Structure 1
Amino acid sequence: MTKLSLFSTLNLFLALFLCPGTSSFASAKDASHHYFQILAADILPSARSLCKAGEGLRSTYQQGRGALKLVHRHGPCSPFSGIGGSAANGSQLTLTEVLQQDQSRVQWIHSRASSSPSDNKQVQDPFQAEATTQLPARPGASLSTLNYVVTVGLGTPKQAFNLAFDTGSDLTWVQCEPCISCYPQQGARFNPAFSSTYQRVSCTAPECAEAKLESGLNQCSASGCLYGIVYGDNSVTVGQLSRDKLTLTGSDVLPGFTFGCGQKNQGIFGMVGGLLGLGRTQLSVVSQARNKYGGVFSYCLPTSNGVGHLTFGPDRSSFSSARFTPLLPHSKFYFVPLAGMSVGGRLLPVSPSAFGSQGTVLDSGTVITRLPPAAYSALRSAFRDFMAQRKYPLAPAATLLDTCYDLSSYTAIEIPKIAFHFQGGTDLVLNAANILLASSLSQVCLAFAGNTKAADPGIIGNWQQKTTLVVHDIPNSKIGFGQGACS
């Protein structure tokens, strides 16, 4: 397969996102509200991709309480745009490689969602020069699939860092000095010596015990509590559990924020300085900022050439457009009660139990949505029936994407609208850009896949979340969706 940048591969449908009312969106004589009619040329990436951000969106992340600008790390709005080329920032991946790494994250989520905490294990001291770091075989999420970046400040005076954000991870970490082994990043690494508010976390602190449960690293050094995480793509971060002031915006700061000061970090992290963890344990930003923001956060993932936002705290103006469904109890992930789906306005002929008894994971790091086998089979059949009626020829599968079409000879195409239906009457109707993924016009694929095991939970990935406001209201145990929320 031809090599494509991650930016190109994951955003070949950038131009496909066409809002109703724009000149390229055909109404099909208003005969149906259940399908999209799209110019085939719009499926291909633009020859020149520019950064776009609407004025209303700028005001959201510039004036909103705890609001951060959120961008795709491989797009033209990225802080890494034009730095080092695609190979240097880890974007030179084929579609096959992207999907393989995505599958590694899915396997991690399935394992972690069903597992109970295992016994902590001893490892060698990672700060001994002659020692080889040996971490437990408890892989974390694949960092390669974390495509969205925010900028935060750390320390006093603050040092700025571009971090990937992840709702499936808890511990926030940055690369630190003195560095034993570090990967290339944009800008300088965090230097504790330059911060007047930096502290190391002691081995007797509650945060140390929490970090041991999270990472499996059960060891202290003379300098304090250590942490270590092996990610699903074999990336590694090891270092000192620490505290310092985290600055989200100019006036929004979290003093004494617990984070990982990574001094031994290996892998392809795409020039980011580390990770911002938005998971459900006590180490996450959400938990540590609960007194300030009330356990509420929201985000809107943009298309690759747009700007979205990550916002902490209630935002009534944004939440007014959201419709809510229950947030199900779980210690590690954000589960929602997906009760049904429709294709072309018709409900899939499966019961709510086909979507799993424990609920469906809502995840910012998984790319492609996964469904339990029975639900995916019904989705695939309905989509194929729609496409067969229009006589679109099938194309070879793209690894786990098994429903693909050769649309290279068409001027315009029609695809059915797909919607998620959640408990409580909340619906999320996908746009065209959320439904299809392609390597070329001759291989245009349905951007969903099925789980191997019926017992594994479904996962709603970031491809299907793009341009939707996703609200996490943890104290009130609910998740909200507001459509058309960012560029």
Structure 2
Amino acid sequence: MGRGARLVLPAAAAPQAQARRRQGGGLDHGRAAGEVRANLPRHYFTSINIGNPARPYFLDIDTGSALTWIQCDAPCTNCTKGPHPLYKPAKENIVPPKDSHCQELQGNQDYCDTCKQCDYEIAYADRSSSAGVLARDNMRLITADGERQNMDFVFGCAHDQQGKLLDSPASTDGILGLSNGAMSLPTQLAKQGIISNVFGHCIATDPSSSGYMFLGDDYVPRWGMTWVPVRNGPEDVYSTVVQKVNYGGQELNVREQAGKLTQVIFDSGSSYTYFPHEIYTSLIASLEAASPGFARDESDQTLPFCMKPNFPVRSVDDVKQLFKPLLLHFSKTWFVIPRTFAIAPENYLIISDKGNVCLGVLDGTEIGHSSTIVIGDVSLRGKLVAYDNDENQIGWAQSGCTRPQKASRVPFFLSRALRSQLL
């Protein structure tokens, strides 16, 4: 299959909020109490087929982590109730310590000559963890014309989850690692020549639909995308820098932040968006000053900041016109063309079960990012976001996310579409 090949996965959303934040092995779960409303961040996952015969597994899509792992009967010490039976590896599927994938995962440390398996453990920011062994098995991909393509895939066979991972929704069997690390699914596919090292996702704003993700570059629009460079760093995350943050026409950067570049991380594994503490408190002050008909309601524990309106509110559509967009301004292209990531009010406001208007942007100090912006699912909705690891850039464009559209260009390589859906 040519390097232009692509896998399209429709997204499904479970009606439960769950935030994951990978921070050098870190993960954080968002808080959501009470009745789930239409615009509450949801839990997005997709289906992959592993094994021979191939069996489906539902995995949380996470651009903030590299290793894909599936709950595994090895046997399992601590596993949650998932939608499918636990993956059971054959002995020949266990990756030995001398394998290059094991050395990559463990930092090229001296491996154990007498050991028969490659152990791993991922620790997350909320003190939860997943431990297991690396396994290698077939992943089955279905092309648009109905053909089947098998690839060798190395992933985590997870048999011991601790902490909040044990509270994960029963809708998933594990996590799909999509970062720019060597162990991620896009990188493994690219190394085997199946796709270019590009992928993307499109999460629908409309709660009645979910969206899709794709692997390869054939669904990246040729025109209309805003691109920013990816910064290289020690963590396998998609990060760039922003020059300033505005609430409408009001700049939120306080004096201590002014003139400094703030790191921005795109993380589909986080339900909510996080701002640095100074920008977060400045945003709250702006919302309180601009909303005289709203009073802060500290009794509402849905999110840290909730306001009670002086009129009944059933959905975010009732109040979005009263608020302004959040604007992340990046450096201009050729010093002329502006590059802005706009977050509409409906993509940062949450309506609680009390009918209050809550802020879906949280303080980054909660996840150890006091000076970093993390853009989560709540703010990625309604945008096609592409991650181009070949060119080290991230791009976005407004989209209804109903179905993927092949780019109107002649591909350099003959390609076929690999299709699936976000569930």
Alignment correspondent of 2:412: none
TM-score normalized with structure 2 length = 0.74
Alignment correspondent of 2:35: none
Confirm or deny: 8 A CA contact 1:66 1:252 kept in the other structure: no
Compared with structure 1, are the counterparts of its residues 238 and 218 closer, same or farther at alpha carbon in structure 2 (3 Å cutoff)?
A: farther
- Structure 1 residue 274 corresponds to structure 2 residue 170: no
- Structure 1 residue 423 corresponds to structure 2 residue 323: no
Task: Output aligned runs, 1:364-379, within 5 Å.
Answer: 364-379=268-283
Alignment correspondent of 2:401: 486
- Structure 1 residue 210 corresponds to structure 2 residue 125: no
Compared with structure 1, are the counterparts of its residues 144 and 243 closer, same or farther at alpha carbon in structure 2 (3 Å cutoff)?
A: farther
Aligned equivalents of 1:217, 1:465: Cα separation in 2: 41
The structure whose residues are more often strand, as a share, is: 2
Aligned AA (2:82): Q
How far 1:409 moved relative to its partner? 2.1
SS of equivalent residue, structure 1 residue 409: coil
SS of equivalent residue, structure 1 residue 381: helix
Candidates 300, 308, 314, aligned match of 2:211: 308
Aligned equivalents of 2:370, 2:73: Cα separation in 1: 44
Confirm or deny: 8 A CA contact 1:341 1:419 kept in the other structure: yes
SS of equivalent residue, structure 2 residue 135: strand
Aligned AA (1:283): M
Task: Output aligned runs, 1:83-482, within 5 Å.
Answer: 91=16, 102=19, 109=23, 112=24, 140-142=26-28, 147-181=43-77, 182-193=79-90, 199-213=93-107, 222-233=115-126, 235-250=128-143, 251=147, 253=149, 255-265=151-161, 267-271=166-170, 272-290=172-190, 291-303=193-205, 304-316=207-219, 318=221, 320-331=223-234, 332-348=236-252, 353-354=257-258, 357=261, 359-388=263-292, 391-396=293-298, 403-407=305-309, 409-410=311-312, 413=319, 414-424=322-332, 425-452=338-365, 456-482=371-397
Aligned equivalents of 1:265, 1:374: Cα separation in 2: 35
Compared with structure 1, are the counterparts of its residues 234 and 450 closer, same or farther at alpha carbon in structure 2 (3 Å cutoff)?
A: closer
Q: Percent identity?
A: 24
Aligned AA (2:386): V
Confirm or deny: 8 A CA contact 1:338 1:355 kept in the other structure: no
Confirm or deny: 8 A CA contact 2:64 2:266 kept in the other structure: no
Q: Once structures 1 and 2 are overlaid, which stretch shifts more, 462-471 or 356-365? A: 356-365
SS of equivalent residue, structure 2 residue 265: strand
Compared with structure 1, are the counterparts of its residues 398 and 370 closer, same or farther at alpha carbon in structure 2 (3 Å cutoff)?
A: farther
Compared with structure 1, are the counterparts of its residues 398 and 369 closer, same or farther at alpha carbon in structure 2 (3 Å cutoff)?
A: farther
TM-score normalized with structure 1 length = 0.65
Aligned AA (2:179): G
How far 1:281 moved relative to its partner? 1.7
Aligned residues: 363
Compared with structure 1, are the counterparts of its residues 172 and 402 closer, same or farther at alpha carbon in structure 2 (3 Å cutoff)?
A: closer
Aligned equivalents of 1:314, 1:333: Cα separation in 2: 19
Aligned AA (2:244): G
Confirm or deny: 8 A CA contact 2:220 2:386 kept in the other structure: no
- Structure 1 residue 71 corresponds to structure 2 residue 12: yes
Quick one: higher RCO (CA 8 Å, sep 6+), 1 or 2? 2
Aligned equivalents of 1:434, 1:371: Cα separation in 2: 15
Alignment correspondent of 1:41: none
Compared with structure 1, are the counterparts of its residues 410 and 187 closer, same or farther at alpha carbon in structure 2 (3 Å cutoff)?
A: closer
Alignment correspondent of 1:60: none
Aligned AA (1:367): S
The structure whose residues are more often helix, as a share, is: 1
How far 1:340 moved relative to its partner? 2.0
Aligned equivalents of 2:150, 2:329: Cα separation in 1: 37
Confirm or deny: 8 A CA contact 1:141 1:168 kept in the other structure: no
Confirm or deny: 8 A CA contact 1:355 1:371 kept in the other structure: no
Aligned equivalents of 2:149, 2:259: Cα separation in 1: 40
Aligned equivalents of 2:48, 2:60: Cα separation in 1: 11
CA displacement, residues 166-202 of structure 1 (integer Å, 9 cap, x when unaligned): 1111111112334233322112222334x9xx63211
Across the aligned residues of Structure 1 and Structure 2, the Cα RMSD in angstroms comes to: 3.4
SS of equivalent residue, structure 1 residue 329: coil
List runs of 5+ in structure 1 lacking aligned partners: 1-63, 75-90, 92-97, 113-138
SS of equivalent residue, structure 1 residue 293: coil
Compared with structure 1, are the counterparts of its residues 397 and 386 closer, same or farther at alpha carbon in structure 2 (3 Å cutoff)?
A: farther
Aligned equivalents of 1:277, 1:398: Cα separation in 2: 34
How far 1:273 moved relative to its partner? 1.5
How far 1:218 moved relative to its partner? 8.0
Aligned equivalents of 2:377, 2:259: Cα separation in 1: 18
Aligned AA (1:301): I
Aligned equivalents of 1:155, 1:398: Cα separation in 2: 46
How far 1:436 moved relative to its partner? 0.8
Compared with structure 1, are the counterparts of its residues 340 and 315 closer, same or farther at alpha carbon in structure 2 (3 Å cutoff)?
A: farther
Aligned equivalents of 2:110, 2:70: Cα separation in 1: 18
Confirm or deny: 8 A CA contact 1:400 1:449 kept in the other structure: no
Aligned equivalents of 1:355, 1:484: Cα separation in 2: 32
Confirm or deny: 8 A CA contact 2:262 2:373 kept in the other structure: no
How far 1:233 moved relative to its partner? 4.7
Aligned equivalents of 2:219, 2:355: Cα separation in 1: 45
How far 1:438 moved relative to its partner? 2.9
Confirm or deny: 8 A CA contact 1:296 1:314 kept in the other structure: yes
Aligned equivalents of 2:259, 2:140: Cα separation in 1: 40
Compared with structure 1, are the counterparts of its residues 386 and 248 closer, same or farther at alpha carbon in structure 2 (3 Å cutoff)?
A: farther
Aligned equivalents of 1:232, 1:378: Cα separation in 2: 25
CA displacement, residues 50-100 of structure 1 (integer Å, 9 cap, x when unaligned): xxxxxxxxxxxxxx82111111123xxxxxxxxxxxxxxxx5xxxxxx7xx
